[in-house]
Amino acid sequence: MSVFTTVTSEQLQVWLLGYRLGDLQDLRGIASGITNTNYFVTTSAGRYVLTLFEKNSVDELPYFLDLMAHLAEHGIPCPHPVAGLDGAYLGQLNGKPAALVSCLRGSSLEHPGLAQCAEMGMVLARMHLAGQSFPQFMENPRGPHWWNVTAQAVMPFLDEAQRAMLERELAYQARFRNLDLPRGMIHADMFRDNVLFDGGNLTGLIDFYYACNDAWAYDLAITANDWCITADGGLDEGRLTVLLSAYHEVRPLVAEEYQAWPVLLRAAALRFWLSRLYDLHHPQPGELTHAKDPEHFRRILVQRIRENDSLQAIWVK
């Protein structure tokens, strides 16, 4: 993700004395994303990703790191945190909480095809099931309460039509706040740039720092809103069908999830429209930062509202 906090080679060499990773060979900032500071770190022992956490508290970070370790040890292709000489995954670097994780091979896909969408659906379901045995719990920090607080922070920057749309959608979502759906740990940010492929095979799920406990079908909706869209933000029926079918083969979807599907797709679009609006209008100072365009998810939300009555027709039955 973006580089907010500068780390020099000299500083990192000293910090790495707390690990059994050999000598530092290369350090490169990763200039994409909007939340944490990330670097590629190469040592004589291998290649890793260093993350300095800009927003997360020290108290909540063990959830993410322990979750990645749990999933990796249960066959899910995700990074494994690296423990220091003290046995802890979490350290501190330049005044920020910091962690190293293994660097997985592969790269993200700009335009996934049917086969890649199917593999994504299957692995997402496997991840949800593997997370059932993870003992820790974290309420979704970007759920309905956050939507309302963030809406108030961005409302002054919107035009009249956008303000009305945001107010209507918040009121709509409030009607479905207590849906009783199968729940567990979710990734909550399974965009294409957080999934790695190598030679056509899915090799890695990365960036678990929005993971939390929520409805599994909401995680599926977040994924569909990025993996299965057309240029105008509509849903591509072919890619969506294979994503849902592959997921359903591993973890069968239930009637309540089918009924809630239009609401969840709209909720997923709302959540990312709000976060991008906030990052645009309340930017965090950084060295190599950029904010993603909130208009992209406004268009997706507009399409999900238009499609509301037909969304259930594309489903696993």
- What SS3 class is residue 28? strand
Tell me which residues of the chain have a pLDDT lower than 70.
1-3, 32-34, 285-290, 309-317
Residue 1's pLDDT is what? Answer: 42
Instruction: Decide: 44 and 10 in contact? Cβ < 8 Å.
Output: no
Q: Verify that 74 and 139 share a domain, yes or no.
A: no
Residue 4's pLDDT is what? Answer: 82
Q: How many domains does the chain have?
A: 2
**Residue-wise pLDDT tens digits, 5-53:** 899 999 999 999 999 999 999 999 987 656 789 999 999 999 999 999 9
Q: Verify that 24 and 170 share a domain, yes or no.
A: no
Q: Verify that 203 and 275 share a domain, yes or no.
A: yes
4 inside domain: no
Q: How far apart are CA 208 and CA 183, in angstroms?
A: 17
- Cβ burial of 74 (10 Å; 0-12, 13-18, 19+) is middle
Q: Verify that 242 and 273 share a domain, yes or no.
A: yes
Instruction: Decide: 70 and 36 in contact? Cβ < 8 Å.
Output: no
Q: Verify that 240 and 174 share a domain, yes or no.
A: yes
Torsion sign across C-alpha atoms 268, 269, 274, 276 = positive
Find all residues with CB under 8 Å of 163, minimum gap 6, and list them. 155
Q: Verify that 258 and 144 share a domain, yes or no.
A: yes
Residue among 263, 264, 296 at smallest CA distance from 277: 296
pTM: 0.93
Q: How far apart are CA 54 and CA 311, in angstroms?
A: 38
Residue 309's pLDDT is what? Answer: 64
- Cβ burial of 79 (10 Å; 0-12, 13-18, 19+) is buried
56-69 b/e (C-beta count within 10 Å ≥ 16 → b)? beeeebebbbbbbb
Residue among 68, 61, 40 at smallest CA distance from 206: 68
Q: What's at 302, amino acid-wise?
A: V
297 inside domain: yes
Longest dimension (CA), the chain: 59
**Residue-wise pLDDT tens digits, 241-252:** 999 999 999 999
Q: Which of 102, 126, 153 is the last residue of a domain?
A: 102
The whole domain housing 293 covers 114-313
Instruction: Decide: 188 and 267 in contact? Cβ < 8 Å.
Output: no
Instruction: Decide: 94 and 35 in contact? Cβ < 8 Å.
Output: no
- Where residue 302 sits, what CATH number does that domain have? 3.90.1200.10
- Where residue 80 sits, what CATH number does that domain have? 3.30.200.20
Q: How far apart are CA 77 and CA 197, in angstroms?
A: 11
135: β partners = none
Q: Which of 48, 82, 102 is the last residue of a domain?
A: 102
Q: How far apart are CA 128 and CA 216, in angstroms?
A: 7
Q: How far apart are CA 288 and CA 31, in angstroms?
A: 6
Residue 292's pLDDT is what? Answer: 85
Q: How far apart are CA 64 and CA 73, in angstroms?
A: 14
Residue 314's pLDDT is what? Answer: 54
